[in-house]
Amino acid sequence: MSVLEAIKHYKKGKDNNTIDDRIHAGFIVEEKPKSVVSEAYRTLRTNIQYSSFDKEIRTIAVTSAEMAEGKSTVAGNIALTFAQSDKKVILVDCDLRKPSVHKNFKASNLVGISEILIGKVSIEEAVQKRNDNLYFLTSGKIPPNPSEMLASSAMSNLIEELKKRYDFVVLDTAPIKAVTDAQILSTKVEGTILVVRAAVTKRDAVIEAKNLLDKVGANIIGAVLHAVENTRGKYSNYYGNEEDKE
Protein backbone atom coordinates (compact mmCIF):
# COMPACT_ATOMS: atom_id res chain seq x y z
CA MET A 1 0.00 0.00 0.00
CA SER A 2 1.56 3.26 -1.11
CA VAL A 3 1.45 6.53 0.80
CA LEU A 4 -0.35 9.17 -1.25
CA GLU A 5 0.95 12.06 0.83
CA ALA A 6 2.43 12.90 4.22
CA ILE A 7 0.60 15.75 5.96
CA LYS A 8 2.70 17.74 8.38
CA HIS A 9 1.63 18.15 11.99
CA TYR A 10 -0.17 21.50 12.08
CA LYS A 11 0.08 23.65 15.20
CA LYS A 12 -2.37 26.49 15.58
CA GLY A 13 -2.14 29.51 17.82
CA LYS A 14 -0.13 30.40 20.88
CA ASP A 15 -1.47 27.50 22.90
CA ASN A 16 0.26 25.13 20.43
CA ASN A 17 -2.86 23.01 19.96
CA THR A 18 -3.26 21.08 16.74
CA ILE A 19 -6.21 21.45 14.44
CA ASP A 20 -7.36 18.02 15.65
CA ASP A 21 -7.36 19.19 19.26
CA ARG A 22 -9.48 22.20 18.31
CA ILE A 23 -12.11 20.56 16.17
CA HIS A 24 -14.16 23.73 15.77
CA ALA A 25 -11.20 25.75 14.50
CA GLY A 26 -11.95 25.01 10.86
CA PHE A 27 -9.78 23.56 8.12
CA ILE A 28 -6.26 24.61 7.23
CA VAL A 29 -6.83 24.74 3.46
CA GLU A 30 -9.37 27.50 4.19
CA GLU A 31 -7.49 29.20 7.01
CA LYS A 32 -3.97 29.08 5.57
CA PRO A 33 -4.20 28.26 1.84
CA LYS A 34 -0.54 29.18 1.25
CA SER A 35 0.83 26.99 4.04
CA VAL A 36 3.00 23.91 3.56
CA VAL A 37 0.17 21.75 4.87
CA SER A 38 -2.31 23.19 2.38
CA GLU A 39 0.16 22.54 -0.42
CA ALA A 40 0.42 18.92 0.78
CA TYR A 41 -3.36 18.60 0.48
CA ARG A 42 -3.17 19.96 -3.07
CA THR A 43 -0.54 17.34 -3.85
CA LEU A 44 -2.84 14.74 -2.33
CA ARG A 45 -5.65 15.96 -4.58
CA THR A 46 -3.43 15.50 -7.62
CA ASN A 47 -2.36 12.03 -6.47
CA ILE A 48 -5.99 11.01 -6.06
CA GLN A 49 -6.82 12.32 -9.53
CA TYR A 50 -3.98 10.34 -11.10
CA SER A 51 -4.43 7.19 -9.03
CA SER A 52 -6.40 5.51 -11.82
CA PHE A 53 -5.45 5.55 -15.49
CA ASP A 54 -8.52 3.73 -16.75
CA LYS A 55 -11.32 5.55 -14.97
CA GLU A 56 -11.66 8.87 -13.20
CA ILE A 57 -12.24 8.37 -9.48
CA ARG A 58 -15.15 10.52 -8.36
CA THR A 59 -16.37 8.74 -5.22
CA ILE A 60 -14.06 7.98 -2.30
CA ALA A 61 -14.39 6.70 1.25
CA VAL A 62 -11.98 8.00 3.89
CA THR A 63 -11.38 5.73 6.86
CA SER A 64 -8.77 4.90 9.49
CA ALA A 65 -7.78 1.83 11.45
CA GLU A 66 -8.86 3.26 14.79
CA MET A 67 -10.35 6.37 16.37
CA ALA A 68 -8.54 9.70 16.76
CA GLU A 69 -6.31 9.33 13.72
CA GLY A 70 -7.55 12.46 11.96
CA LYS A 71 -9.72 10.90 9.25
CA SER A 72 -12.45 13.54 9.49
CA THR A 73 -9.87 16.33 9.32
CA VAL A 74 -8.33 14.71 6.24
CA ALA A 75 -11.73 14.04 4.63
CA GLY A 76 -12.81 17.65 5.16
CA ASN A 77 -9.59 19.08 3.78
CA ILE A 78 -9.74 16.76 0.75
CA ALA A 79 -13.29 17.94 0.03
CA LEU A 80 -12.31 21.59 0.43
CA THR A 81 -9.23 21.19 -1.76
CA PHE A 82 -11.23 19.66 -4.60
CA ALA A 83 -13.80 22.44 -4.21
CA GLN A 84 -11.02 25.01 -4.51
CA SER A 85 -10.13 23.50 -7.90
CA ASP A 86 -13.57 24.54 -9.16
CA LYS A 87 -15.15 21.12 -8.68
CA LYS A 88 -18.64 20.76 -7.27
CA VAL A 89 -18.04 18.60 -4.20
CA ILE A 90 -20.14 17.01 -1.49
CA LEU A 91 -18.82 15.69 1.84
CA VAL A 92 -21.04 13.03 3.42
CA ASP A 93 -20.86 12.07 7.09
CA CYS A 94 -21.22 8.29 7.01
CA ASP A 95 -19.93 7.80 10.54
CA LEU A 96 -23.37 7.11 11.93
CA ARG A 97 -21.98 6.16 15.34
CA LYS A 98 -19.79 9.18 16.10
CA PRO A 99 -20.58 11.86 13.50
CA SER A 100 -18.47 15.00 13.33
CA VAL A 101 -19.11 16.84 10.05
CA HIS A 102 -21.84 18.99 11.61
CA LYS A 103 -19.46 19.90 14.46
CA ASN A 104 -16.59 20.71 12.11
CA PHE A 105 -18.81 22.93 9.97
CA LYS A 106 -20.82 24.26 12.94
CA ALA A 107 -24.01 23.18 11.23
CA SER A 108 -27.36 21.67 12.14
CA ASN A 109 -27.67 17.90 12.34
CA LEU A 110 -31.45 17.68 12.57
CA VAL A 111 -31.67 15.87 9.24
CA GLY A 112 -29.04 14.02 7.25
CA ILE A 113 -28.40 10.76 5.46
CA SER A 114 -30.33 8.75 8.07
CA GLU A 115 -33.50 10.65 7.19
CA ILE A 116 -32.80 10.41 3.45
CA LEU A 117 -32.32 6.65 3.61
CA ILE A 118 -35.64 6.05 5.38
CA GLY A 119 -37.44 8.37 2.97
CA LYS A 120 -38.27 11.02 5.53
CA VAL A 121 -36.62 13.88 3.60
CA SER A 122 -35.27 14.44 0.11
CA ILE A 123 -31.63 15.06 -0.79
CA GLU A 124 -32.49 18.70 -1.47
CA GLU A 125 -33.96 19.09 2.01
CA ALA A 126 -30.91 17.62 3.74
CA VAL A 127 -27.95 19.01 1.78
CA GLN A 128 -26.24 22.05 3.32
CA LYS A 129 -23.95 24.52 1.58
CA ARG A 130 -20.47 25.49 2.77
CA ASN A 131 -19.56 27.66 -0.23
CA ASP A 132 -20.29 27.88 -3.95
CA ASN A 133 -18.49 24.59 -4.67
CA LEU A 134 -18.69 22.64 -1.41
CA TYR A 135 -21.83 21.03 -0.03
CA PHE A 136 -22.24 18.54 2.78
CA LEU A 137 -24.64 16.01 4.24
CA THR A 138 -24.56 15.44 7.99
CA SER A 139 -25.36 12.09 9.56
CA GLY A 140 -28.77 13.03 10.89
CA LYS A 141 -30.19 11.08 13.80
CA ILE A 142 -27.97 8.20 14.93
CA PRO A 143 -29.87 5.03 13.93
CA PRO A 144 -30.03 1.77 15.92
CA ASN A 145 -28.71 -0.18 12.92
CA PRO A 146 -25.97 1.81 11.14
CA SER A 147 -24.37 -1.14 9.33
CA GLU A 148 -27.67 -2.37 7.90
CA MET A 149 -28.59 1.15 6.82
CA LEU A 150 -25.27 1.71 5.06
CA ALA A 151 -25.45 -1.72 3.39
CA SER A 152 -28.89 -1.02 1.96
CA SER A 153 -29.74 -0.49 -1.68
CA ALA A 154 -31.00 2.94 -0.62
CA MET A 155 -27.42 3.88 0.30
CA SER A 156 -26.12 2.63 -3.03
CA ASN A 157 -28.80 4.64 -4.79
CA LEU A 158 -27.93 7.74 -2.75
CA ILE A 159 -24.26 7.54 -3.75
CA GLU A 160 -25.19 7.11 -7.41
CA GLU A 161 -27.56 10.07 -7.25
CA LEU A 162 -24.92 12.25 -5.58
CA LYS A 163 -22.47 11.25 -8.30
CA LYS A 164 -24.91 12.60 -10.89
CA ARG A 165 -25.21 15.92 -9.06
CA TYR A 166 -21.61 16.49 -7.97
CA ASP A 167 -18.18 16.18 -9.55
CA PHE A 168 -16.65 14.58 -6.47
CA VAL A 169 -18.16 12.71 -3.52
CA VAL A 170 -16.26 12.20 -0.24
CA LEU A 171 -17.58 9.79 2.40
CA ASP A 172 -16.27 10.24 5.94
CA THR A 173 -16.65 6.74 7.40
CA ALA A 174 -16.21 5.05 10.78
CA PRO A 175 -12.84 3.51 11.75
CA ILE A 176 -12.56 0.15 10.03
CA LYS A 177 -11.33 -1.97 12.94
CA ALA A 178 -14.22 -0.96 15.17
CA VAL A 179 -17.19 -1.81 12.93
CA THR A 180 -17.96 -3.09 9.43
CA ASP A 181 -19.32 0.24 8.14
CA ALA A 182 -16.17 1.27 6.26
CA GLN A 183 -15.87 -2.18 4.68
CA ILE A 184 -19.45 -1.91 3.46
CA LEU A 185 -19.01 1.57 2.03
CA SER A 186 -15.69 0.74 0.38
CA THR A 187 -17.58 -1.62 -1.92
CA LYS A 188 -19.92 1.18 -3.00
CA VAL A 189 -17.28 3.75 -4.01
CA GLU A 190 -14.53 3.89 -6.61
CA GLY A 191 -11.67 4.30 -4.17
CA THR A 192 -10.79 4.17 -0.47
CA ILE A 193 -8.18 6.13 1.46
CA LEU A 194 -6.74 4.93 4.76
CA VAL A 195 -5.63 7.67 7.17
CA VAL A 196 -2.67 6.73 9.35
CA ARG A 197 -1.57 8.95 12.23
CA ALA A 198 2.21 9.19 12.22
CA ALA A 199 4.00 7.79 15.27
CA VAL A 200 0.65 6.80 16.80
CA THR A 201 -1.01 4.17 14.63
CA LYS A 202 0.61 0.78 15.15
CA ARG A 203 1.87 -1.12 12.12
CA ASP A 204 -0.24 -4.16 13.03
CA ALA A 205 -3.35 -1.98 13.08
CA VAL A 206 -2.58 -0.67 9.59
CA ILE A 207 -2.00 -4.19 8.27
CA GLU A 208 -5.26 -5.38 9.81
CA ALA A 209 -7.15 -2.42 8.33
CA LYS A 210 -5.69 -3.10 4.88
CA ASN A 211 -6.57 -6.79 5.16
CA LEU A 212 -10.16 -5.93 6.08
CA LEU A 213 -10.44 -3.72 2.99
CA ASP A 214 -8.79 -6.33 0.78
CA LYS A 215 -11.22 -8.94 2.08
CA VAL A 216 -14.17 -7.11 0.50
CA GLY A 217 -12.30 -6.20 -2.67
CA ALA A 218 -11.97 -2.49 -1.94
CA ASN A 219 -9.93 -0.37 -4.30
CA ILE A 220 -7.40 1.08 -1.87
CA ILE A 221 -6.02 4.22 -3.49
CA GLY A 222 -3.41 4.49 -0.76
CA ALA A 223 -2.70 5.83 2.70
CA VAL A 224 -2.42 9.37 3.98
CA LEU A 225 0.20 9.73 6.68
CA HIS A 226 -1.26 12.37 8.96
CA ALA A 227 0.32 14.68 11.58
CA VAL A 228 3.91 13.98 10.54
CA GLU A 229 6.51 15.91 12.53
CA ASN A 230 9.06 15.86 9.70
CA THR A 231 8.04 15.40 6.06
CA ARG A 232 11.57 15.45 4.67
CA GLY A 233 11.86 11.67 4.67
CA LYS A 234 10.45 9.28 2.11
CA TYR A 235 7.26 7.55 3.21
CA SER A 236 6.33 5.61 0.08
CA ASN A 237 6.99 2.30 1.85
CA TYR A 238 6.16 3.41 5.39
CA TYR A 239 3.82 0.49 5.95
CA GLY A 240 4.02 -1.05 2.53
CA ASN A 241 6.35 -3.74 1.35
CA GLU A 242 6.92 -5.73 4.52
CA GLU A 243 3.23 -6.33 5.11
CA ASP A 244 2.95 -7.97 1.70
CA LYS A 245 5.30 -10.64 2.95
CA GLU A 246 3.02 -11.56 5.82
* Residue range 79-123, pLDDT digits in tens: 999 999 999 999 999 999 999 999 999 999 999 999 999 999 999
Is there a domain that residue 14 lies in? Answer: no
Can you give the residue range of the structural domain that contains 191? 3-7+28-228
Is there a domain that residue 111 lies in? Answer: yes
What is the per-residue pLDDT for 111? 97
98 alpha-carbon distance from chain centroid: 14
Is there a domain that residue 243 lies in? Answer: no
Is there a domain that residue 198 lies in? Answer: yes
DSSP type of residue 243 = G
Is there a domain that residue 153 lies in? Answer: yes
Is there a domain that residue 145 lies in? Answer: yes
Is there a domain that residue 100 lies in? Answer: yes
Give percent of the chain with pLDDT exceeding 70.
86
CATH number at residue 137: 3.40.50.300
pLDDT band at 68 (very low <50, low <70, confident <90, very high): confident
Is there a domain that residue 75 lies in? Answer: yes
Residue 19 has pLDDT above 80, yes or no: no
CA 182 – CA 189 distance, rounded (Å): 11
Total structural domains within the chain: 1
Give the mean pLDDT of 212-229.
Answer: 92
Tell me the pTM. Answer: 0.87
Give the mean pLDDT of 46-74.
Answer: 91
* pLDDT tens, position by position, 191-207: 999 999 988 889 999 99
